[in-house]
Structure 1
Amino acid sequence: MTGPVQRFRTLPLRSRLALLVASAVAIAVTAVAVACWLLTRTQLPSELDSSLENSTAPRSSVQGALAVCNTGTSPDTGTTPGFVYIQVVLPGGQRCVAPGSEPVKVQQEDLDVANGTGHSSLHDSVTEDGAKVRVFTRRVDYDAGPPITVSLSRPLAEIDASLNELALLLALVAGVGVIGAGLAGLWVARSGLRPVDGLTRAVEHVARTEDLTVRIPVEGEDEIARLSRSFNSMTAALASSRDRQSQLIADAGHELRTPLTSLRTNVELLARSEETGRAIPPADRSALMASVKAQMTELASLIGDLQELSRPDGTDPGPLQVVALHEIMGSALERARLRGPDLTITTDLRPWYVRAEPASLERALVNVLDNAVKFSPSGGSIEVTLNGGRGGNGELTVRDHGPGIPAEELPHVFERFWRSPSARALPGSGLGLSIVARTVQQAGGEIALRQAAGGGTVAAIRIPGAPTPPPDGLDGGNGLDGAHRV
């Protein structure tokens, strides 16, 4: 059993489908043919019995049969019994065969009728030649004489012949049906799998050429159409992902080139000083080392940003925890004050607890404050507020008094490596706000930049949470149980 099944599974899908269709039709045709033959085999004997019971032996045939018994000769009656054998059964078991009839062996059922113990009998018997017949025996009253026992017989060979002819006809019909089913199954398989063939060729083309611009025409709303649409969506997503990856690599290479070039120049100056023995003045050497350290810091920051952005969208950033946003903002503010010692940073932080990955959230807040510090004028101020908002959304705003962002540039500020023309001379990679937007979205929130009244920029971050932590640090109540889970 395992062998045929295994061989069937190794066949091409088209062959399996055609074979299944042909097998199903063959089974159905065979079942109908067998049922028809069985029904006919049951019906024909019943019709034969009805025909015998409704038949009446001609008087001339009965008289001819009696004359044969009395005189041993067959009178010329001018009639023939046709396909019914007629004979008279006497009480002693003798039989008187009508002219033109075949003699049929007398059975006990016939004697019972002849002796008066039965009125009629319907049974099987055989002729002297051994041919099977169906016999109907009954007592018949002719005129005023005594009742006569007459047996009417018909050969069963006519039923067998009809059944054989029917069996041959049904076999031919079944054979034609199976062949037709095989051809129909092959046609159905070819027609039904033609879209699959197209899909297969498209997949093979993509695998061979890596051409993700291939699209399959979609017709209808069936399963094949759904599969085609899914394939088109998949190739479109892969093409978009590859384009983003190529763009990321190109942009990263461009951003890495500047600090690497500067770092290489400084290192070459130091190496040349060591090789030639010409010492660099202490002040210049200190400035050179400071530049090297700054370039190394910028490279480390850029590499960290690239690692953060290298994760696919939707990737779990780590275990989410219930964290105090106001406390994380406090830590980020300490780092911001070190980077802008001449700036005045005022804060109004109300308690607010959210579900997020702590390290990623702190990095995002540091990036927001770095932008505010970078674009604030010397001696300027930065206002930071955190309040619980409506609907369980806390709002964190960071407002600077710098030059602000033109309205036409606002839609691009969260794009990777995008930097406004006025900021290209300043340090930075253009990845900070992109990381901020991604981190805030993973925490279920949203971020927006807008122009502030009186100049400057306002960064507004809204993250679902609650003003009090849940009991035992569990997510229950307080707005921390599902509204922003990732």
Structure 2
Amino acid sequence: MLVATAVAVAVAAVALACWVTTRERLTEQLDTTLSQVKPNDDAIRLLTASCTNQLPGDVQIVTGPYTIQLVTAVGTEPCTQPDKSAIPVQPSDRVVAAGVRKSATHTTDAANGTAMRVYTTTIPNQERRGVAVSVAIPMDQVTDPLNQLALVLLIVSGIGVVGAGAAGLWVARSGLRPVDELTEAVEHVARTEDLTVRIPVEGEDEIARLSRSFNSMTASLATSRDLQAQLIADAGHELRTPLTSLRTNVELLARSEETGRAIPPDDRKALMTSVKAQMTELASLIGDLQELARPDAAQPGPLQVVALHDITRTALQRARLRGPELTITAELAPWYVRAEPAALERAVVNVLDNAVKFSPPGATIDVILHRGELTVRDRGPGIPADELPHVFERFWRSPSARQLPGSGLGLSIVARTVQQAGGTITLTPAADDGPGTVASIRLPGAPQPPPEL
């Protein structure tokens, strides 16, 4: 409708301009023709004689298609040739007869209702004062071609408007078909929550870009939902084991109280120690889950320039408390990075905790920070080559480590924190003699902050 309306307005404007221009040109040509018709003195005398009934009956005034009449400056009736209809005198005609103007042109209706184009001019003979001669011709020489032109313009304009409307409808339907498909897909997703819907993409226009964006969005949503479902399933699986063990121990304690059968002190102490360890494991697991489930987990906190060597030194103190039977050596060169301090400290602590957890009693752990690379080398059993690609996955735990405490989320949190700081982390088997694993964290440096005043 918009296209048809725009075309109709444009065509109407062009047609009107064409019609008006043609009318002006035809009228100018008619005026030129009338100005060239100049009755001589004989024709004027015959016309005067006919108006005074002095013209013999066998004498006729032949003027062809023109009508000639005499106009006076005063208000007397004009003198019109006998075989023509009188033409009303206009004030401009009397102004010419009075000698104020040389000529005047206008359009008026004759006594018989015919539209006439009138050209009035002074009489060449200067003896006839106060009299002018008017030459008129029917306007059908102008109106007939104009009517034909108007009919042609109307037909052509109608065809153009109808064609433009049909073309606009076809273009609109063709252009909006992908939008309709996109709308149907969105409604389908909203109704069924089926994120596998994909829209066929054709071309490189805006609709194609919109379709590709929608497909990318649904694919991302589907991946996110799958990851969420996997996280829930893995979390349920990991929570089930400590909860089952904790429930068994609590039920054993409750049964002892209900039946009055006391549990031996050593067994009761071991049972309470197990309950405490299971609760600690649950608290750690829930904390890791909360860390992963935070709405802003994918976005780093406010980044600051922090001293990686200071953070590592603080983490080493905690690691030595957790593994007092181990020897932990440290060579820490100053290195400043841009990161979230709390998250970076937790990442370093997690890496050191893994080294402490898997190191045998009396073993040595080497920690080196040199030019932005923090390496932690333990003497544990090491990680098989086929398990290395999975160590940073959520809830993944090596079969040999399933009996040890942990949630399987520590290294995934470390990897995310390091990536947010613009660095990388790798786990590789120890290259020197003996078993063990080397964890390497590489972080880009930052300008050293100015000293505080």
> TM-score, normalised to structure 1's length?
0.80
Q: Distance in 2 between matches of 1:435 and 1:366?
A: 11
Change (3 A) 1:408 1:75: farther
User: How far does residue 126 in structure 1 lie from its aligned partner after superposition?
Assistant: 5.7
Q: Equivalent residue for 1:15?
A: none
1:282-293 maps to which residues of 2 (within 5 A)? 282-293=265-276
Say whether the 8 Å CA contact 1:61–1:99 is kept in structure 2: no
Please identify, of 438-447 and 428-437, the stretch whose mean Cα deviation from structure 2 is larger.
Answer: 438-447
Q: Distance in 2 between matches of 1:331 and 1:444?
A: 22
User: How far does residue 246 in structure 1 lie from its aligned partner after superposition?
Assistant: 0.9
Change (3 A) 1:153 1:466: closer
Q: Equivalent residue for 1:23?
A: 5
Q: In the TM superposition, what whole-angstrom CA distance separates every residue of 1:33-89 from its partner, at most 9, and x where no partner exists? A: 332333234333212212212446699977864663574345466x95443223467
- Structure 1 residue runs of 5 or longer lacking an equivalent are 1-18, 474-486
**Corresponding residue SS for 2:380:** coil
Q: Equivalent residue for 1:243?
A: 226
Say whether the 8 Å CA contact 1:64–1:74 is kept in structure 2: no
Q: Equivalent residue for 2:422?
A: 444
2:242 corresponds to which of 259, 270, 284: 259
- Structure 2 residue runs of 5 or longer lacking an equivalent are none
Q: In the TM superposition, what whole-angstrom CA distance separates every residue of 1:249-294 from its partner, at most 9, and x where no partner exists? A: 1111111121112111211221121122111111111111111111
Amino acid aligned to 1:21: V
Q: In the TM superposition, what whole-angstrom CA distance separates every residue of 1:416-467 from its partner, at most 9, and x where no partner exists? A: 1122233233222211110000111122222111222223211111222347
Q: Distance in 2 between matches of 1:74 and 1:43?
A: 41
Q: In the TM superposition, what whole-angstrom CA distance separates every residue of 1:183-241 from its partner, at most 9, and x where no partner exists? A: 44433332221111111111111111111111000001111111100110000000000
Q: In the TM superposition, what whole-angstrom CA distance separates every residue of 1:381-416 from its partner, at most 9, and x where no partner exists? A: 0011122x2xxxx22111112222233322221111
What count of residue pairs does the alignment treat as equivalent? 447
Say whether the 8 Å CA contact 1:351–1:467 is kept in structure 2: no
Q: Distance in 2 between matches of 1:214 and 1:91?
A: 92
1:309-458 maps to which residues of 2 (within 5 A)? 309-311=292-294, 315-387=298-370, 389=371, 394-454=372-432, 455-458=435-438
Percent of residue pairs identical: 67
Q: Distance in 1 between matches of 2:309 and 2:34?
A: 109
Q: Does 1:49 align with 2:31?
A: yes
User: How far does residue 163 in structure 1 lie from its aligned partner after superposition?
Assistant: 4.8
Q: In the TM superposition, what whole-angstrom CA distance separates every residue of 1:353-378 from its partner, at most 9, and x where no partner exists? A: 33322222222111100111122122
2:210 corresponds to which of 207, 218, 227: 227
Q: Distance in 1 between matches of 2:139 and 2:327?
A: 120
Say whether the 8 Å CA contact 2:291–2:297 is kept in structure 1: no
Q: Equivalent residue for 1:217?
A: 200
> TM-score, normalised to structure 2's length?
0.85
**Corresponding residue SS for 2:374:** strand
Say whether the 8 Å CA contact 1:121–1:138 is kept in structure 2: yes
Two-structure CA RMSD over aligned residues (Å): 3.5
Q: Distance in 1 between matches of 2:445 and 2:29?
A: 90
Q: Distance in 2 between matches of 1:327 and 1:379?
A: 26
Q: Distance in 1 between matches of 2:268 and 2:95?
A: 142
Change (3 A) 1:107 1:20: closer
